[in-house]
């Protein structure tokens, strides 16, 4: 076996099989649990939205979860535990391992503008997946903040009496619903970009599954 | 030795070209690992037995989590926290009608015939006429009614604190539930800590006027620490009990505690 590889190496440049880990195991596990939790929360949330729409549209039943309002609420308030426990683990580990600081900072306006231009002209390199470009840093740091806001506005809607100070911070019960909706829309927008880019650079998807 | 064997098996073939072709066909190691990981993830999903399409098992799980959520909410519930109150100008007029039937199907009750039946773990099971209830001390609150659907409306409610009435009839306040039955076959169970909350009210008036038919004449239970469906209208009986008797919406899957 070893001689076959040695022969192959003579004709093609050597390829390092044991490349370094880009996404550690905890990131991968929490990422995919989060993906499942997100889909549950978004689809059941749309079901709940349909019972009393904030805008002049409802979500088609085919993309909602739960079948009716009561079912949607059941899914939403069950998925909430998965999302919150998983999210707390992610944020805690992200901070204590230094991953957030290392991966997401620093972000600069000029860096973001530069990398956005490079991306739009097809000049942004994806050779090194271990380092995020400025656009990625902004999106990943931004979605973390959105994640915190969607949980807090959700708590404000769920417990407007017990957590009334939180609800007041969002401008009251009705305003908290709009905040919750806008945060949902931000996450869906992020997901569209995130999934599209993962498909354009498949090795990034591979790294999120096997780590390398 | 391997080289010798190979040259014996495949004579006259350029070894280097052969290996090159073979490696082209063979997926690289990382790609194989990628596929293997995908397969084991699929196997894991099967092993957990969490089949979303199997609605029965999903329903079971959701019901269990919903009961867990009841417990968590009961723990979060602080009997001393009052619901925010608002001013006269915030009151929604007319206040929206809401029910599992249309407004013209709402029960029409003759206040002279109506009686509130009292039963269960109470010292005095005498039933109460509307005239007798109207003589009880009146308090007023302007609080937000929050519907399970997501909309909300601020109302001005007048009546007697339920906890004062429970004291009056000698209710066992260590019992678990106060169960209400209504004229339109509606029902709802209220946990005792919430029944004893200062703002939980036997409501006879809206905006200082006798309750209109649409809002539950002659009596509704106003619970500003709960979602709207836990605020029964057209109430005909009250039972203090340790048995959980569910309710119209609770039985269909709405979370029982549904506290705000």
Packed helices A134-158 and A69-96: angle between N→C axes, nearest 10 degrees: 130
Instruction: Using the predicted structure, report yes or no on whether residue B120 has a pLDDT greater than 50.
Output: yes
Tell me which chain B residue has its CA closest to the CA of residue A21. B30
Range of weakest confidence among A114-123, A198-207, B118-127 = A114-123
Q: What average pLDDT does range A114-121 have in this prediction?
A: 82
Q: How far apart are CA B149 and CA B128, in angstroms?
A: 34
pLDDT on residue A203:
86
pTM comes to 0.82
Q: Are strands B209-210 and B201-206 parallel, antiparallel or unpaired?
A: antiparallel
- Percentage with pLDDT > 70 across chain B: 79
Cβ proximity of B145 and B155 under 8 Å: yes
Tell me which chain A residue has its CA closest to the CA of residue B77. A162
Q: What are the backbone dihedrals phi and psi of residue B230, each rounded to the nearest 5 degrees, phi first?
A: -90, 15
Chain A: give the shortest CA distance to residue B226, in Å.
9
Find where tokens 């749309």 sit: A46
Chain B: give the shortest CA distance to residue A111, in Å.
33
**CB atoms A212 and B23 under 8 Å:** no
Q: Name the band, by pLDDT with cuts 50, 70 and 90, for residue B219.
A: very high
Q: What average pLDDT does range A91-103 have in this prediction?
A: 91
Kindly list the domain boundaries of chain A, sorted by start residue.
113-120+128-201
Instruction: Using the predicted structure, report yes or no on whether residue B4 has a pLDDT greater than 60.
Output: no
Q: How far apart are CA B70 and CA B163, in angstroms?
A: 22
**Residue A74 is nearest to which of B29, B41, B62, comparing CB atoms?**
B62
pLDDT, greater one: B37 or B57 = B57
Please report the residues numbered 189 through 208 in chain B whose beta carbons come closer than 8 angstroms to any beta carbon of chain A.
Answer: none
Q: How far apart are CA B155 and CA B85, in angstroms?
A: 10
Query: Which of B190, B150, B228 minimizes the C-alpha distance to A73?
Result: B150
B146 interface with A at CB cutoff 8 Å: yes
Q: How far apart are CA A198 and CA A140, in angstroms?
A: 14
pLDDT tens per residue across span B152-201:
999 999 999 999 999 999 999 999 999 999 999 999 999 999 999 999 99
pLDDT on residue B29:
46
Which residues neighbour A69 within 8 Å (Cβ) at sequence distance 6 or greater? A47, A48, A50, A51, B148, B149
pLDDT on residue B55:
61
Residue A32 with chain B: CB contacts under 8 Å = 41
B144 interface with A at CB cutoff 8 Å: yes
Q: How far apart are CA B210 and CA A169, in angstroms?
A: 36
Instruction: Using the predicted structure, report yes or no on whether residue B24 has a pLDDT greater than 90.
Output: no
**CB atoms A69 and B149 under 8 Å:** yes
Residue A12 with chain B: CB contacts under 8 Å = 20, 23
Task: Give the 3-state secondary structure of residue A113.
Answer: helix
pLDDT on residue A101:
87
Chain A: give the shortest CA distance to residue B169, in Å.
29
Cβ proximity of A34 and A86 under 8 Å: yes
Chain A: give the shortest CA distance to residue B258, in Å.
9
What is the Cβ-side half-sphere exposure of residue B170, based on CA atoms within 13 angstroms?
5
Please report the residues numbered 225 through 244 in chain B whose beta carbons come closer than 8 angstroms to any beta carbon of chain A.
Answer: 225
ipTM, two decimals, is 0.85
pLDDT on residue A114:
82
Cβ proximity of B95 and B155 under 8 Å: yes
Preferred mutation among B4, B44, B65 to probe A, highest tally of A CBs within 10 A: B65
Beta strands in B38-151 (DSSP E): 115-120, 128-129, 139-146
Q: How far apart are CA B139 and CA B201, in angstroms?
A: 9
B50 interface with A at CB cutoff 8 Å: no
Instruction: Using the predicted structure, report yes or no on whether residue B49 has a pLDDT greater than 60.
Output: no
pLDDT tens per residue across span A36-89:
999 999 999 999 999 999 999 999 999 999 999 999 999 999 999 999 999 999
- What integer best gives the mean pLDDT of chain B? 87
**Residue A160 is nearest to which of B30, B76, B260, comparing CB atoms?**
B260
pLDDT tens per residue across span B230-247:
999 999 999 999 999 999
**Residue B77 is nearest to which of A158, A160, A162, comparing CB atoms?**
A162
Q: What average pLDDT does range A153-175 have in this prediction?
A: 98
Q: In what order do the strands lie in the sheet with B128-129?
A: B128-129, B115-120, B235-241, B177-182, B187-191
């Amino acid at each position: 076996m070893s001689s076959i590889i040695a022969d192959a190496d003579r004709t093609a440049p050597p390829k390092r099989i044991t490349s370094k880990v880009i996404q550690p195991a905890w990131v991968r596990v929490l990422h995919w649990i989060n993906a499942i939790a997100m889909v549950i929360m978004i689809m059941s949330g749309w079901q709940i939205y349909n019972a009393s729409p904030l805008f002049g549209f409802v979500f088609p039943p085919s993309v909602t979860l739960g079948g009716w309002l009561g079912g949607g609420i059941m899914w939403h308030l069950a998925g909430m535990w998965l999302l919150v426990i998983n999210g707390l683990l992610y944020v805690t580990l992200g901070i204590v391992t230094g991953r957030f600081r290392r991966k997401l900072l620093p972000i600069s306006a000029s860096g973001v503008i530069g990398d956005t231009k490079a991306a739009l002209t097809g000049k942004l390199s994806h050779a090194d997946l271990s380092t995020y470009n400025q656009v990625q840093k902004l999106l990943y740091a931004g979605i973390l903040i959105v994640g915190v806001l969607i949980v807090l506005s959700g708590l404000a809607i769920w417990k407007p009496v017990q957590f009334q100070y939180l609800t007041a911070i969002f401008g009251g019960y009705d305003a908290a619903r709009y905040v919750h909706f806008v945060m949902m829309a931000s996450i869906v927008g992020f997901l569209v970009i995130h999934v599209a880019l993962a498909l354009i650079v498949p090795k990034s998807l591979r790294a999120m599954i096997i780590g390398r | 030795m391997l080289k010798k064997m190979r040259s014996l098996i495949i004579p006259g073939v350029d070894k280097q070209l052969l290996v090159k072709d073979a490696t082209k066909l063979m997926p690289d190691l990382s790609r194989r690992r990628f596929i293997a990981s995908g397969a084991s993830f699929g196997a894991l999903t099967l092993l957990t037995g969490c089949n979303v399409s199997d609605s029965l098992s999903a329903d079971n799980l959701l019901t269990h989590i919903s009961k867990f959520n009841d417990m968590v909410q009961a723990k979060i519930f602080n009997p001393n926290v009052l619901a925010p109150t608002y001013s006269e100008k915030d009151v929604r007029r007319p206040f929206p009608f809401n029910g599992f039937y249309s407004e013209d199907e709402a029960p029409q009750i003759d206040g002279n015939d109506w009686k509130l039946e009292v039963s269960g773990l109470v010292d005095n099971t005498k039933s109460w006429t509307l005239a007798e209830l109207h003589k009880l001390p009146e308090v007023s609150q302007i609080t937000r009614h929050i519907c399970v659907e997501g909309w909300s409306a601020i109302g001005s409610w007048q009546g007697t604190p339920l906890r004062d009435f429970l004291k009056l009839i000698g209710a066992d306040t260590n019992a678990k539930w106060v169960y209400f039955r209504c004229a339109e076959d509606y029902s709802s169970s209220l946990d005792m800590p919430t029944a004893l909350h200062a703002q939980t009210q036997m409501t006879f008036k809206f905006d200082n006027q006798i309750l209109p038919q649409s809002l539950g004449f002659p009596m509704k239970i106003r619970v500003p620490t709960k979602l709207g469906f836990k605020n029964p209208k057209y109430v005909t009986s009250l039972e203090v009990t340790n048995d959980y008797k569910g309710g119209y919406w609770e039985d269909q899957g709405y979370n029982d505690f549904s506290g705000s």
